[in-house]
Structure 1
Amino acid sequence: MDKKLSKQVDQLDAAIEQVERALGPILSQPLNEQLSKLSAIERCELEALIAYSIDTLFWIYLKVNGVPPKEHPVMAELQRVQRYIGKINKAKGINGEDGGGDRMKLDKQAADRFIRNAISSNK
């Protein structure tokens, strides 16, 4: 093996070890246990991250094996997961570019009416 290829293999090996270290805490427990400790929005984020990661790894696999990934259904799946990530960010009040965003505003008068009606209907 020539020196250039050997260096690239060593870099790949180091990158894989880094990924394994980063994923260690996540992979050390069953997913159900981890999800049960998270809020609803955090669960959505983690599940979207997992889906996006798997799809991305498959995209890389296709690319490495000479299959054009842009023509493969994995692209549609990546785009679908990206839309979900956008919905999650919108729910969190994150507006993609500036980190701020539009949060839902509480209509206090409407909330008061709902509460009053719910209380009066229970009597």
Structure 2
Amino acid sequence: MDFGDLEDDKVIQHKLTNFHSSVEKITKMLDLALNSDIYEKLSVKEKVDYDLFIAYATDTLYWLYLRLKNEDPNKNDIKLQLNRVKEYMVKAKQAHERHTLRPKIDQQAAKRFVKHGIQYKNKPDQPPPNKKIKFSD
């Protein structure tokens, strides 16, 4: 990079170099993220995460753009959009957890419990099975 009049100021050169490399990283990341071939191969959960990532990334870049123009992003709708995307991130996480962390019922075991419970209710004079039998001396 040609710094022109800023050749003597190492601090600004370092900041500008970091800024330039960050912009290049963001450009590469967005090029990869906007590749439609990758999107088609994703699962439903990954597509939701991908869409939320793209929405949050573009809103964040717009928020940074407003900051660079010395405008207050809190007075713009972008703050509401960022909060809305965050809410959807929480909802997506809850939906994923509901499907993955939900306990599964062993139907065969449940049927056995019900079957033996009904048998015991129908025959109250018999002791329940698997109970200890006490013998008198």
TM-score band w.r.t. shorter chain: 0.5 to 0.7
Q: Which has the larger radius of gyration?
A: 2
Q: How many residues align?
A: 100
Distance (whole Å) between structure 2 residues aligned to residue 75 and residue 108 of structure 1: 47
In structure 2, the gaps of 5 or more residues are 108-137
Alignment CA distance shift 1:77-1:67 (3 Å): same
Distance (whole Å) between structure 2 residues aligned to residue 35 and residue 108 of structure 1: 36
Residue 93 (1) aligns with residue 97 (2): yes
In structure 1, the gaps of 5 or more residues are 95-101, 110-123
Distance (whole Å) between structure 2 residues aligned to residue 75 and residue 53 of structure 1: 13
User: Match of 1:45?
Assistant: 49
Cα RMSD (Å): 2.5
Once the two structures are TM-superposed, the CA of residue 11 in structure 1 deviates from its matched residue by 1.4
**Aligned ranges 1:103-118 → 2 under 5 Å:** 103-106=101-104
TM-score, L = length of structure 2: 0.62
Q: Would you identify which runs of 4 or more consecutive aligned residues in structure 1 move more than 6 Å?
A: none
**Aligned ranges 1:1-123 → 2 under 5 Å:** 1-2=5-6, 3=9, 4-27=11-34, 29=35, 31=36, 33-93=37-97, 103-106=101-104
